[in-house]
Chains A and B, each alone.
Chain A
Amino acid sequence: MMNMIKKGLPAIALTLSTQTALAMSEHPMWVGQVILDQLEVRDTDEGRVMAWELDAWYGGDFNKLYFASEGERLMAPEEDEEDPATEGAETRLAWSRALSPNWDWQLGVRRDWQPDDPNRDWASIGLQGLAPYWFEVNTHLFVGEDGLSNLRLEAEYELMFTQKLVLVPSLEANLYGKEDDELGVGKGLTDIEAGLRLRYEIRREIAPYIGVNWEKQYGDTADFTRNAGGKTEEGSVVAGIRLWF
């Protein structure tokens, strides 16, 4: 232990290589994974939108550093030059800790990036794992500035047609504890997003897919959007690729 402190990272590398020499898990191996779960083009009324959802983690069996990013970007805006390219993005950084055989809990921070509107920072606590019947579930409670709160529920399922052809239904819902009038977000259920993606795993790591995505806003949020002249419901055809390494 002393050596590790004195010599820093090279010593840690040395410790890890000793582990391989010992053929036993005295120092369990740390592993990392980057999953680009969605990198897709959505054909919407406003034009072509690129959307992404990325997860990455690094760590051991019990503790992991977790990073997530998702967002949308307008690829081919109409002639209006003022149209911002990025519609919105969010990044999360969390410490993930194994809670039970199938569940991890997470403690972290989130930042929402918005082109015009103010960015929002949140603290988050989440539960992530595999529910019975193989539903992948992600639940997060975000607590932000000015008493803002956001509860987000996500679920996903993998339906295998063959060993390589997989249909993935997904559902996401957001609830807010308090109105955020600067961003046009109401109280209560704000939006639901549902997707259905059919992917073909060329290898496990490389899987192009096609699908449909549907988003709908509810309550005051929908009113805000309507008043601003926006659409509160949008369905789109998507095509993209899922990658991990």
Chain B
Amino acid sequence: MGLDRRSFISLVAGGVAGSLFTPVIWKTLDDVSIWTQNWPWIPRLQYGEELTFPALCKLGSDAYGVKVKTVGGRPVTAEGNPDHPLSLGGICPLGAASVHLLYSPSRVKNPKLKDGSSFKDITWAEAEELLAGKIREAGSNVAMISGDETGSVTDVLSGLVGKAGSDKSFFMPGESAPAAAALAMLGGDGQVGYDIENANYVLLLGADALGSWGNVARNGKAFSASREKGVKFVYVGPAQNGTSAVADSWVPCNTGTEPVLALGIAAVIAGTSRDRSSWPGFASFAKFVQTAYPLDKVAEITGVKAAVITGLAQELVRAGRPLVLTAAEAGQGLGAFELAAGMSLNMLLQRVNAVGGVRILPWAPKVVEAAADRKTMFANDLVAYLSSVADGGAEAPALLMVYGANPAYALPNLTKAQAAMDKAGFVVSFSSFMDETAAMADLIMPDSYAFERLDDAYSPYGSGQPNYTVVAPVIKPVFDTRPAGDVLLVVAAKAELDLGFESFEDVVKAKAEALGADFDEMVEGAAWVSEEFPAQDLALWTTPLQELAVAAKDGKSLALAPVQRLKIGSAKIAIPPFNTNAIRFDEMLGNDMYVLLNAATAKNLGLKKDDAVKIASSGGECKARVRIFEGVMNDTVVAPLGLGHTAWDAFSRDKGDNVYKLLAADTEAESGLSRFATVRVTVSKA
């Protein structure tokens, strides 16, 4: 019997159709999915009642309200808090990852005492006795470093140091200190804030306001709302960043010379026909800026064309409610005189204590009597102190206590800072994480994490209005940790130093009462906000005017533009486990970070894409690879702060290099503050 073509096709088609009626194929496909889904451990989802609790995020330089979502009592995610004035529903990339840090591999799970090159576990009772003993032994030779400018734990720690007879209470570098000193130079007193929401023209001199500077979440919301109203944003800085990407225009300006540009613009405005002769300090200021900062000189220093400078001045004068915001690209490193330069522009435009202008906020009330107040602490320069200790110019503290900060990683003059900490008799770290400072400390008294403790924040730097936030714990401590505020009060009592409070909650209640805020309402989620601004009697300058110090170009070195990107961490926190994916392939190759050069600069140096390079300054050296990016000024190298950790965990350790090593600081004569915004470096093939 033959098989013709028709029969053959019928047979095949029938066979195929028939096979679909057998379970074999379907079973096989089902099995394939099981074979391919090969996993030794499959978590079952845990359900439960869903609630949200107000909390604070202090992982960046800011402090703002978030809402932590819990499921069956377990925190699972964090979102912006629409009811908080510094969040308005927004959140930064660190806040978005904040819940997972509860269980970070870097958490310090119990008190630890240095034992040779490692640590041994001790009990809280032992740790408290030990620290109390060290306080008694040290007498007045104690010092403290805090990374939290907004919270009352700093007051308790500073109170402890003050009660022991020491005035060595320090903050990590930032812009609050030079801003306060700048305001003092102009005859003012208070905390500087910016009413971005109500400005109709915002000139950002260096400030990466939408990426890393100040109240990032609130700045973002203000920017977003401004878009609908046609408000113009102009970003001035050496490199394009997140802020410049969405600003109406980017004005390239040499690193750290934005204050020179401010004085150049001021010279143009001062030269307009408007009669300002009766303004306090105007005559000497106008003479100074017009003599010291003629257009051609400013253009040469800043790299901004004279016509652009004039154009910016005209736009500012024409705008009804302009606001000038001056900051370093990395949010630190400018001196007081430089911030005063930016402030003087606001004064010339009559934008101080005006709607949509610069606002002067009152200082936080002092409730711990022995503590140094904020103004005093901002005047104490940590970088200079540690450098002096390292060089033998100052006595090393017998006891150094560190809270909410990582000075062994995130300070300019880093080598000296580390040497000074080595010289200290006994170092105590109140850190939730095994950061570089904790790793080198003699005693770690692990602070409960943000969502495990009562905490507060008064008007983070840049806030447009006075505000105060208090949050209750969302969850009990998941490890054997305790809130630093309470631990310090217990230790103070053991050391027989009376700070006037028995619990940290009492301290916060006293502060709320001093502000006229309702503690009970605040722990439920309501933030306290005030519209009262102390009257200021400002003059354009009350201290001698001087030319800004600008690092000289030598034709061989490049200007360093250190930048902060919150997605990869901050001075306080390393890359959170959930943030590694936010790093783009053009930001890191393997474990090598990229620094950015434009093509012309790279060509001059004989460098091309992906070349391994060594970057060196008088402070130290870093390794990196080259990425060609045309959004960078000539003869400038952009390098990210926040990488190159030596402690922490697999999500951050040994990724990139620590650019703080390159930040060599000098001292501003007038204010005594350290400045490091105009560092010059050499870039060569590694």
Do A and B come together as binding partners?
Answer: no
Residues of A within 8 A of B (CB): none
Residues of B within 8 A of A (CB): none
